[in-house]
Amino acid sequence: MKYMLMICADEETGAAHANDGCEGWSEEMLERGVLVGGGGLRPPMDATTVRVRDQQVLLTDGPFAESKEQIGGYCLIECADLDEAIEIAAKHPAAGYGTIEIRPML
């Protein structure tokens, strides 16, 4: 079963931890064979949003929605079930200061 972990934090907290790395989490999960991909993201102020309406490409400077909580990184994992996904997410250092959303992949 594949899940995406979306790592969220409010902008300030996220910025403060931007260069933390994962304190060995990635290494552990790679070794376990459950981490498929992922990475950290630059802050939302560097984001560009794209829509196409009536064949017009419309661009917005900024993220999907201006909200306090923003996605700061993501991981793709492949594991047995939701219980294992919860265990993996709970071990991620960002769970200690931000929030991690677990989304099953289609």
Partner 1 sequence: MTDVHNTVARVFRAEWGQVVATLIRITGDWDLAEECASEAFAAALQRWPSDGVPRKPGAWLTTTARNRATDRLRREAVGVAKMREAAVMYDEPEDDFPDERLRLMFTCCHPALALDAQVALTLRTLAGLTTAEIAKAFLVPEATMAKRLTRAKGKIRNACIPYRVPPAHLLPERTPGVLAVVYLLFNEGYTAVVRQNLTEEAVHLGRVLVQLMPDEPEAVGLLALMLMHHARREARIGTDGAMVTLEEQDRARWDGTLITEGVDLLDGALRRGQAGPYQIQAAIAACHVTAVRPEDTDWPQIAALYGQLVRHVPSPVVRLNQAVAVGMAYGPAVGLHLVDQLTGLAGYHLLPATRADLLRRMSRFEEAAAEYRTALEMATSESDRKYLHRRLTEVSKTG
Note the residues at the interface with partner 1 (CB under 8 A). Answer: 1, 80-83, 86, 102, 104
Cβ burial, residue 84 (10 Å; 0-12/13-18/19+)? middle
- Beta carbon of residue 81, minimum distance to partner 1 (angstroms, whole number): 4
User: Are 92 and 17 within 8 A, CB to CB?
Assistant: no
- Beta carbon of residue 104, minimum distance to partner 1 (angstroms, whole number): 5
Cβ proximity to partner 1, 58 vs 105, nearer residue:
105
Q: Under 8 Å CB-to-CB from 45, ≥6 apart: which residues?
A: 62
Cβ proximity to partner 1, 10 vs 78, nearer residue:
78
